[in-house]
Structure 1
Amino acid sequence: MLGPGLGALHADARPTLIVGIETRGLVLGPITALHLGVGFVEIRKDRRIVGEYRGPAADPLLRAATPPEYQDGGLTLVVPGRLFRPGDRVLLVDEWIETGAQASAVRRMVTEAGAEWIGAAVVVDACAPHVRARLDVRGLLTEDDLPA
């Protein structure tokens, strides 16, 4: 039920590619992509990919950092650049969004690759209105929907 639910949040934008950030995004993203019949791209955290990626030199990694105050010092997200194509309509799928730091980093990579950012579909939207508007965040639930 999560794949169809998350996919419906931005169905009007007709995504052609779903991205998910490790760890939970790597579970929710593929089930949403499968439901929509589109491709999936995993976004890794730099600490996990160093030394693992052995792609061709002509396929550089796209990198985008979160602000230093995010997660006690920030982090860098990475993805092989060849996985995005100009004309892709990219939707980020994740379980929770609060500050929008990771989503903003992914958006920068998507834009750098020449693809189009559609927005973020999340299970729980806990972000401020200005973050929601800037990133086009849509959630199945808000933080206020959860029991205290």
Structure 2
Amino acid sequence: MEALKEAIRRYGRHLGNGIIKVDAFLNHQIDPALIAACGQELARRFRHLEPTKVLTAEISGIGPALMTAYALGVPLVFARKHKPLTMGDDVFFATAPSHTKGGDVTLLVAADYLRPGDRVLIVDDFLATGATILALARLAQAAGARVVGIGAVIEKRFEGGRDRLRSLNVPIESLAVVTGVEGDRILLE
């Protein structure tokens, strides 16, 4: 997606340690037109797999996952990082290390929203190490659901996440691929 690549070139910043800041359009301030286009493109790439739910992690994945779910006409489920009082005790949870948080994050989904027979498309803002996406896959599997695909807005190919996800044996699609960084410059495929 050329518009996404242009936004990364224009607004993206490398903060060191592989952290790429794109909060001007993706995960703090959201460019609705761009993220809607990303959702449409992810939906186009995965529609043939007939997902029944889109799953993401709170909070940065919600924008692109919502737009993908909307384009597919299916519900969005997002894994929470903290259990609210309104969430019952019947939950699925998984832990993943967070590169940007500097520690482990627990992801929770109420059992009411992931069920056996669901065909789950995982969508996230970034595919980096793959740890968060693997945790989301474990949540879906614990519910008896089937992961049918993985979509990312931006993939940091140099962190090896795609290779870690191959064991899930599902299609993996990224809308923009960062191959590395040179100083402040973000290198795109």
Q: How would you bin the TM-score normalised by the shorter chain?
A: 0.7 to 0.9
Q: Go from structure 1 to structure 2 and tell me whether the alpha carbon gap of 1:147 and 1:70 turns closer, same or farther (over 3 Å shift).
A: closer
Give the Cα separation in 2 of the matches to 1:63 and 1:93. Answer: 18
Which of 75, 86, 93 is equivalent to 1:54? 86
Q: Say what the alpha-carbon RMSD is for the aligned residues.
A: 2.4
The AA in structure 2 aligned to 1:143 is V
**Corresponding residue to 1:138 among 173, 177, 180:** 173
Q: 1:72 to 1:2 in 2, by over 3 A?
A: same
Give the equivalent residue in structure 2 for 1:112.
142
Structure scoring higher RCO (CA < 8 A, sep ≥ 6) equals: 1
Tell me which amino acid in the other structure corresponds to 2:167: R
Give the 3-state SS of the residue equivalent to 1:45 in structure 2: coil
* Aligned residue pair count: 142
TM superposition shift of 1:133:
2.2
Matching residue of 1:45: 81
* From 100, 103, 117, the counterpart of 2:130: 100
| Structure 2: distance between partners of 1:56 and 1:75 | 20
Distance 1:19 1:140 in 2: 17
Distance 1:26 1:72 in 2: 21
Deviation at 1:67, TM superposition (A): 4.5
Task: With the length of structure 2 as denominator, give the TM-score of the two structures.
Answer: 0.67
Does structure 1 conserve the Cα–Cα contact (< 8 Å) formed by 2:122 and 2:133? yes
TM-superposed deviation, 1:73: 2.6
Letter in 2 for 1:64: A
Rg larger for = 2
1:75-94 deviation line (CA, Å, top 9, x unaligned): 11011011012111001111
**Percent identity at matched positions?**
29
Runs of 4+ in 1 over 3 A off after TM superposition: 67-71, 145-148
SS state of the match for residue 76, structure 2?
Answer: strand
TM-score by length of 1: 0.83
Answer whether contact 2:96 2:132 (CA < 8 A) is retained.
Answer: yes
Q: Deviations over 1:29-52 (max 9, x none)?
A: 111111011111111113xx3xx2
56, 59, 80: which one aligns with 1:20: 56
